[in-house]
Homo-oligomer: A and B are copies of this chain.
Amino acid sequence: MKVYVIGIGLIGGSMVLDIKGRYPEAIIFGIDNNDKHVQEAIDLGVVDQEGKMEDLAKADFVIVSVPVDVAMIVLPKVLDLVGEKTIVFEVGSTKKPICEAVANHPKRRNFIATHPIAGTEFSGPSAAIRGLFQGKTNIICEVEKTAFKLQEKALNLFSSIGMRIRYMDPVSHDKHIAYVSHLSHISSFMLGKTVMNKEKDEQDIFDMAGSGFESTVRLAKSSPAMWTPIFKQNKEHVLETLEEYIANLSRFRDLLKEEDYNAIFEEMESTNKIKEILNGLTIKK
């Protein structure tokens, strides 16, 4: 079994680590536009050897795990090169632009659009970890546009590394994910910015910040190279979530200005039901 991973970072790297764990006979080929990443991935045992684009025809699986703007360019090229039995999947956080980019490709049926909901705030080959996908959700879009046998091949692979599958159309995916993922990143980045701008003396943050702050700004460590194109591709949905978030914060500010503490209490109490939702998340893991 030959598995090619294009872009050897957190998602692609973690995925091939688990594939290799499940299928020890698999040969993992790494391709990355950063030569250092390829060598680092080999040294870390994330991939077995460097791969070449011109060999993709022999691949069983090609995982395209690059920033979503790069995926738009790389994916059609990859499809140009793959063989009849190759299944290509891409793992980015936007699905409509990606699906559109390959909609009319003659080898569209060799492609499956996925979004594994898993990750950390780290990036690069050293961010790859085992077991990242265990119990996590993989959202698959436009499954009907993938050749039946290749659907099966991909789904078996995802199941083998512990993922739950959910099917969704690309527009719904992009809309919902703006709320539960993209907005969280902006809220976290801007929280980090607000605090850092104010607290010029970092020692004050260091000494006074607790686990609550750490938790809310964790995503502000994320890669700008990865996130800028996500916000670009999902601009309309992200703007919608951001407007609503700003409106909710402004309302909270106004209630505080007006000293309407009953309303402030109710704002928080009604949001407390997020507990049950998060308990659901915890059970899922």
Minimal Cβ-Cβ distance residue in B for A241: B194
Residues 222-246 of chain A, each 1 if its beta carbon lies under 8 Å from chain B, else 0: 1011011101100100110111111
How many A residues touch B, CB cutoff 8 Å? Answer: 94
Q: Check if A216 is an interface residue, CB within 8 A of chain B.
A: yes
CB–CB B256/A239 < 8 A: yes
Q: Which residues of B contact A249 (CB under 8 A)?
A: 186-187, 190, 242, 245-246, 249
Q: Which residues of B contact A275 (CB under 8 A)?
A: 221
CB–CB A245/B281 < 8 A: no
User: Could you write out 28 A-B pairs with CB less than 8 Å apart?
Assistant: A117-B210, A118-B211, A119-B210, A119-B212, A139-B208, A176-B208, A180-B195, A180-B213, A183-B191, A184-B212, A186-B249, A190-B249, A192-B271, A193-B248, A193-B271, A194-B244, A196-B271, A196-B273, A196-B277, A202-B277, A209-B277, A209-B281, A212-B218, A220-B271, A224-B266, A231-B256, A246-B253, A249-B249
Q: 20 extra interchain contacts, Cβ-Cβ under 8 A, other than A119-B212, A194-B244, A209-B277?
A: A117-B210, A121-B212, A166-B208, A180-B195, A180-B204, A184-B191, A189-B252, A196-B273, A197-B244, A206-B281, A206-B284, A212-B218, A215-B216, A217-B278, A228-B261, A231-B261, A238-B256, A239-B253, A243-B253, A246-B246
